[in-house]
């Protein structure tokens, strides 16, 4: 039946390639686009095509930025350029920015070391981070990767690379999330929260 | 931070409007588009824009079909034009087509009656279905709406509209799904499967 409406078949095929879109929902998303008005549709496609032509990665921190313009963080005088927070991707960076409490800059790794998926240190921006530290402008590196095996492995690898350099290496605090009960936490988190306790 | 990369902010804003895309996944989908190569991106946008210019609804069954071409089902000599299956949307129609066992045609309602969401019979294609029956070409109507309160209400409404007309009205069988254990079923389904039992 779908062969008779090739436009629809093609859209469904392309939507299937979009990650994190449950296959059950593909028809519903297709429906959204089918009933979208012309103006909105052009706006959507325009935004997509705009990405390709007007966005590129900052050569220092690897955040997406407008092509031809300096990265707003790496060129900001208000940010502490000697404090670098190392994150997996730009989503985590935005999460940290939303806290409003961080005044340093970032380094986006572009993933985590994961041998099972064929991602080694060379696929990430670790060498570029090492060079950034070697240049002497960085005083402290905050390793803000996830508390997962891959995140910990990546942090350990980076720490080992920076071990001999005159830079402070820190990582995020581990403990009970704000608003959570101890009861609902796993054993390891409670253990870490206890052993890494802070003065009241 | 996102204000500095308006292209990215705009994409995220537009992705937020796509239904069935969990807000947690928006960044990941954005990432997919950011890393898509030029050719694929143009293909994706092309497919979307193609919808608007080349697709329209069949005036008889309301399925999407190529503009300017007759609907492949409504114009098919291989299909029984006197047997009409009434479904909520084209997803359900495709599900029934996939069974390969149905040889009649369809009527797509475009939704279900749902007063809470402001959807009454006039927003659906029910009047058009009544006219289709009035024209005398239809012998049987299969009401294939979902077994939900809205689905049942819509079927009842359609049945009441067609009551006085010389047409057979049937509906889908209710019972235990193939491959399911009775244990895992709800009481009402088991009751219906019992009371609507068939000869072995």
Each of the 200 residues of chain B gets a pLDDT tens digit; together they read 677 788 888 888 888 888 888 878 888 899 899 888 888 998 899 888 888 888 889 999 999 988 888 788 899 899 999 999 999 999 888 888 888 888 999 999 999 999 999 999 999 999 999 999 999 999 999 998 888 889 989 999 999 999 999 999 998 888 888 888 777 888 888 888 877 877 77
How far apart are the C-alpha atoms of B90 and B109, rounded to whole Å?
Answer: 9
> Which distant-in-sequence residues (6+ apart) come within 8 Å of A93 by Cβ?
A63, A85, A87, A106, A108, B1
* Chain segment A96-127, per-residue pLDDT in tens: 888 888 899 999 999 999 999 999 999 999 99
Count of all residues that appear for chain A in the document: 200
Compute the count of residue pairs across chains A and B with CB atoms less than 8 Å apart. Answer: 138
Residue ranges in chain A modelled with pLDDT below 50 = none
Domain boundaries, chain B: 2-53, 79-171
> Which distant-in-sequence residues (6+ apart) come within 8 Å of B59 by Cβ?
none
CATH classification (class only), B79-171:
alpha beta
Residue B119, phi then psi, degrees to nearest 5: -100, 110
**Which structure tokens are listed for A155?**
């942090």
- Beta-sheet strand order (sheet of A80-87): A104-108, A80-87, A140-143, A168-171
DSSP code, position B106? E
Please tell me the CATH code under which domain B2-53 is placed: 1.10.8
**Which structure tokens are listed for B50?**
């193609």
> Any chain A CB within 8 A of the CB of B10?
yes
How far apart are the C-alpha atoms of A154 and A88, rounded to whole Å?
Answer: 9
Q: Is B74:B91 a contact under the CB 8 Å cutoff? A: no
- What region does A84 belong to: left with phi over 0, alpha with psi -120 to 50, or beta? beta
> Any chain B CB within 8 A of the CB of A1?
yes
Residue indicated by tokens 């609507």:
B196
How far apart are the C-alpha atoms of B23 and B9, rounded to whole Å?
Answer: 14
Q: Which pTM was predicted?
A: 0.70
CB-based burial, A14-53: b 16+ in 10 Å, e otherwise: bbeebeebeeebbbbbbbbbbebeeeebeebbebbbebbe
Nearest to B105 by CA among B69, B129, B134, B135: B129
**Which structure tokens are listed for A34?**
């089918």
pLDDT value for A1: 67
How far apart are the C-alpha atoms of B14 and B71, rounded to whole Å?
Answer: 32
Task: Write down the architecture of domain A78-171 according to CATH.
Answer: 3-Layer(aba) Sandwich (3.40)
Count of all residues that appear for chain B in the document: 200
B65·A4 Cβ contact <8 A = yes
pLDDT value for B79: 93
Three-class SS state of A53: helix
A66·B5 Cβ contact <8 A = yes
A55·B48 Cβ contact <8 A = no
Instruction: Show which of residues 116-175 on chain A sit within 8 Å of chain B, judged by CB atoms.
Output: none
């Amino acid at each position: 039946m779908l062969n008779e409406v090739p436009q629809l078949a093609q859209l469904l095929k392309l939507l299937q390639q979009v990650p994190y879109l449950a296959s059950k929902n593909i028809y519903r998303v297709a429906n959204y686009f089918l009933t979208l008005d012309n103006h909105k549709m052009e706006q959507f496609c325009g935004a997509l095509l705009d990405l390709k032509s007007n966005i590129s990665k900052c050569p220092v921190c690897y955040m997406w930025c407008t092509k031809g313009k300096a990265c707003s963080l790496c060129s900001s005088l208000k940010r502490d350029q000697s404090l670098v927070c190392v994150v997996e991707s730009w989503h985590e960076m935005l999460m940290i920015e939303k806290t409003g409490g961080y005044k340093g800059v970032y380094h986006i790794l572009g993933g985590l070391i994961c041998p099972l998926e064929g991602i080694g240190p060379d696929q990430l921006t670790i060498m570029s981070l090492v060079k950034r530290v070697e240049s002497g402008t960085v005083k402290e590196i905050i390793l803000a990767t996830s508390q997962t095996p891959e995140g910990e492995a990546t942090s350990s690898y980076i720490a080992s690379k920076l071990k001999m350099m005159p830079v402070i290496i820190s990582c995020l605090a581990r403990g009970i999330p704000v608003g959570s009960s101890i009861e609902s936490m796993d054993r390891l988190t409670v253990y870490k929260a206890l052993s890494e306790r802070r003065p009241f």
